[in-house]
Amino acid sequence: MSAYIPRYQGTVTKYVFVESPEMTPQDLAVRAYEISEGAMIKETCFGLQVTGTAEGVEKIIVALRELDPDHIFVKDRGFPPGDPRRCRANLGGARPGFFGHEFEISLIRHVSYGLHELTGRDATSIPHPPTPSPETKLDVDKLKKLVEAQEP
Amino acid sequence: MAKVFIYPATSLILSDLVARFGHTPLSAAQSIREHIQTAGLESPPLQISPEDPKKGLKYAAVEVPSGVRGRMSLYGPMIEDAEAGIIIHDADLAFGCMGCARTNELIIFLLKKRDIPVLELNYPKTDAEGAEFVAAIRDFLVGLGREK
């Protein structure tokens, strides 16, 4: 076993996803470079990764969100960009976590629509979101009765 | 500002909406970051040390696979720390290469067992559902602000 010395200690990394008809990741990256003030910006096919101090990253995120608030989405990332344990360049194939992002990005236009509609929505109206089916799983006692009924 | 545990813990949509409406999302990234930014012995890929499955013993018994206990050592403390929770039930992405079905069941059970507000939803499949989905999350999070 060898000693582990973390890279980019004390930093936070955030993903910025853009799914907009009016903005590309490149537009977002140009704006991010302008205001980066020492933070590391990495442009990707879906948006950006921003790495830096918590305050610095938050400042950049707030400014980027203003560009297209309903179509820019942000989440935390545990690993810094290019980390050999996660980077596709070292591992090959899709990055772990890609499939989750791929799935949610396929639905995110509905969330963008919801955010857009939110401003004109009556504050007193009660929302009826998609909810899980109320069907319950098989009760243990019922299962036991079924098993006993099958015994010769 | 309340700490809101999100399930799936890697969800982009939930993480964004919770932060957007002024609260702190508790997601997998925070605990993974804490692990990989702590110096110690090399233990790739997530720096999960032999101590972590022991911490997971608080949430799952010793005969439970170590993967469940290792995962619970990441998620368990966050569930204890949470002041509210949002669960998306039809999140197939939380199983397979992204996670473990038994851990997921345990996470949902522990969240419901705690006496905190929990919002349960499905993913929106249409624009109309998207509007209701976002409004429900907004109302839930605004309500948390009022309670505090």
For residue B34, pLDDT over 80 is answered with yes
In this structure, is residue A3 part of a structural domain? no
What residues make up the domain containing B143? 3-147
What is the number of domains present in chain B?
A: 1
Give the pLDDT confidence score for residue A136 in this predicted structure: 82
Decide if B124 and A8 are in contact by the 8 Å CB cutoff: no
**Which chain B residues are within 8 Å of A83, Cβ to Cβ?**
36
Torsions phi, psi for A108 (to 5 deg): -70, -20
Any chain A CB within 8 A of the CB of B12? yes
pTM for the whole thing? 0.91
Q: What residue has token string 């060898």?
A: A2
Decide if A111 and B133 are in contact by the 8 Å CB cutoff: yes
Give the pLDDT confidence score for residue B6 in this predicted structure: 97
Burial of A133 (0-12, 13-18, 19+ CB in 10 A): exposed
For residue B24, pLDDT over 80 is answered with yes
Q: Higher pLDDT residue, B109 or B94?
A: B109
- For residue A54, give the CATH number of its domain: 3.30.70
**Which chain A residues are within 8 Å of B25, Cβ to Cβ?**
75-76
Report yes or no: B118 and B30 within 8 Å, Cβ to Cβ.
no
In this structure, is residue A148 part of a structural domain? no
Helix (H, G, I), strand (E, B) or coil at A77: strand
**Which chain A residues are within 8 Å of B92, Cβ to Cβ?**
103
Give the closest-approach CA distance of B86 to chain A in angstroms: 12
Give the closest-approach CA distance of A81 to chain B in angstroms: 12
Question: In which residue ranges of chain A is pLDDT below 50?
Answer: none
Taking a contact as any Cβ pair under 8 Å apart, which residues of chain B between 122 and 141 contact chain A? 122-127, 129-139
Decide if B41 and A4 are in contact by the 8 Å CB cutoff: yes
What residues make up the domain containing A108? 12-118
What is the number of domains present in chain A?
A: 1
Give the pLDDT confidence score for residue B43 in this predicted structure: 83
Any chain A CB within 8 A of the CB of B64? no
- For residue B137, give the CATH number of its domain: 3.40.50
Kindly state the average pLDDT of the residues B14-18: 97
Any chain A CB within 8 A of the CB of B107? no
Distance CA B92, CA B101 (A): 10
For residue B127, pLDDT over 80 is answered with yes
Give the pLDDT confidence score for residue B29 in this predicted structure: 94
Q: What residue has token string 């989905």?
A: B133
